[in-house]
Structure 1
């Protein structure tokens, strides 16, 4: 008879039950067992107390290889011989089926997911039940708070509460974009230099949430209210710019800027469009590129500084993307600046 095997590498995080956004250093978890009791215990600890597992066959098999970063996680899950019941809680769960199949039910709706399907397995604040038949899947979990904050950062969307209205991607191209994003984020947060930066962890989570909003039908709609227009003043821009300059080293978004200035996120977006013809996030990126430029100028390869390290420090998980942005602004590659070619 097989014996349970459990190995936890680093710290085992669980998505916060209140959905609060946090960007912890990523931790890896590896777990495998055929013991039904251990399956249920692990799933509750890892995914929340509202998740229960019921054995449907004499033997249950569970294997999980995951990486967790507070407000989001990416897990490679294999489960057979069991059904999973999830009570309503503030997270979004997106899965891509790699093997087997899953019978799924949410309220009165039901579906069967097969190999290659990209689907919302668990909607925000809506319970569901699923039966796993030798199923393997890449499962991404995002807090509702992270999704809402990213929706507020979108200059074309403003809603009080995002709701997803469909389980499947809006198009095959959207599904492919989701898969590419998951791969990019996984690679970014498993890179040791990049993963040491909280800005990288935060930006990777925002990218996942933004891609989920672009991939699946949801209620993100434009809401241009009178109070937003009246607050979109040059003074709002001035104060927002000061906040960005003072906090560029932190994982901030439009909602943080708005809260600090006591206006709505939509007002900040409108103000930047009206007075600067740009967006707050574009301005934040400009400031971070300037700080990275200063760091590269003041360092040298001899002291251990690398372009990847500087890029990660200022929230750019992809060195190639950072190099492209940097060259567009400064007319040279960051590696040239680090070597002192411009001095």
Structure 2
């Protein structure tokens, strides 16, 4: 085991030179076609970054106009402004930032335009987020978050409380590397609560705009399958009545919401058994983790879905 601790990132710079500030930010974010102009107030710029390779907290104050294109990124970046105006994207995909409200950057990149702004950023490394998402059964390499979703009040409260705790801890230069690593994990968990994971295995019908409500419920199942979920929960997520939700699931997916949830959980059990060590993996414990308390009924349902019993899957490790 290596005794090497994660290297700490701590950076701060400021300038009153407009071109220098533009070039610094364009270099830091691998930007393209970045231009800057002075506004009515005197130009000033300040940038700070603190954290480690898994997660950094950043602040940018830019008294001027800045626009350009952000290139695709492997990291997940949530940012919000405390003052100024800001837009992301263009045309129908254009997002007008609301003061104090977090917004996930499009991972495919986007154009932007900012004026006299004070910005806060939480940047989470992909591998760090995939580690936490993997505990929820999301396969590495397929993780994608839907930046178009408008987080609800509960998710916003979880995010803001988490960021406040993270900020107090990470800004403390004496915080231990272990505590800092825990803050990175907390940031990843809060981010997964803030924006839903886009499943790569969604049925094509769910991608149609008319089926958007059901897609929200399905994505919620894939993201929260490790938690207790009721049909009423899914109806609330989809903004549908219970009857409308059940009818929509049957029409689009040919099954009920509860049956779909059970299918997803049985898939997660199979993934865990395929990755488990036959000598140490306890099938009953894996089943209970995914909500299957009755061993006999679980084994029968598993065999019906996967064509073999759990012990046979585990032996094929």
TM, length-normalised to structure 1: 0.55
User: Which sections of structure 1, spanning at least 5 residues, go unmatched?
Assistant: 1-21, 239-269, 280-343
Distance in 1 (alpha carbons) for counterparts of 2:136 and 2:275? 18
1:173 matched residue in structure 2: 154
**2:11–2:50 CA contact under 8 A, matched in 1:** yes
SS of the residue corresponding to residue 82 of structure 1 reads strand
TM, length-normalised to structure 2: 0.60
**1:99–1:136 CA contact under 8 A, matched in 2:** yes
2:111 matched residue in structure 1: 129
RMSD: 3.1
SS of the residue corresponding to residue 237 of structure 1 reads coil
Would you say 1:75 and 2:54 are equivalent positions? no
* Higher relative contact order (CA closer than 8 Å, sequence separation 6+): 1
SS of the residue corresponding to residue 166 of structure 1 reads coil
CA pair 89-207 structure 1, distance change in 2 beyond 3 A:
same
**What whole-Å deviation, never above 9, does each CA across 1:5-47 have from its counterpart, x for those lacking one?**
xxxxxxxxxxxxxxxxx98343332222232331133214433
Distance in 2 (alpha carbons) for counterparts of 1:84 and 1:116? 22
Distance in 2 (alpha carbons) for counterparts of 1:163 and 1:103? 22
SS of the residue corresponding to residue 164 of structure 1 reads coil
Picking from 91, 103, 108, the partner of 2:87 is 103
SS of the residue corresponding to residue 191 of structure 1 reads coil
**2:81–2:98 CA contact under 8 A, matched in 1:** yes
Using the TM superposition, give the Cα deviation of residue 53 of structure 1 relative to its aligned residue in structure 2, in angstroms. 2.9
Using the TM superposition, give the Cα deviation of residue 55 of structure 1 relative to its aligned residue in structure 2, in angstroms. 1.1
Distance in 2 (alpha carbons) for counterparts of 1:182 and 1:101? 22
Picking from 20, 27, 34, the partner of 2:16 is 34
2:48 matched residue in structure 1: 65
Distance in 1 (alpha carbons) for counterparts of 2:54 and 2:141? 20
**1:90–1:143 CA contact under 8 A, matched in 2:** yes
2:197 matched residue in structure 1: 218
Distance in 2 (alpha carbons) for counterparts of 1:106 and 1:203? 37
Distance in 2 (alpha carbons) for counterparts of 1:55 and 1:35? 11
Using the TM superposition, give the Cα deviation of residue 73 of structure 1 relative to its aligned residue in structure 2, in angstroms. 1.0
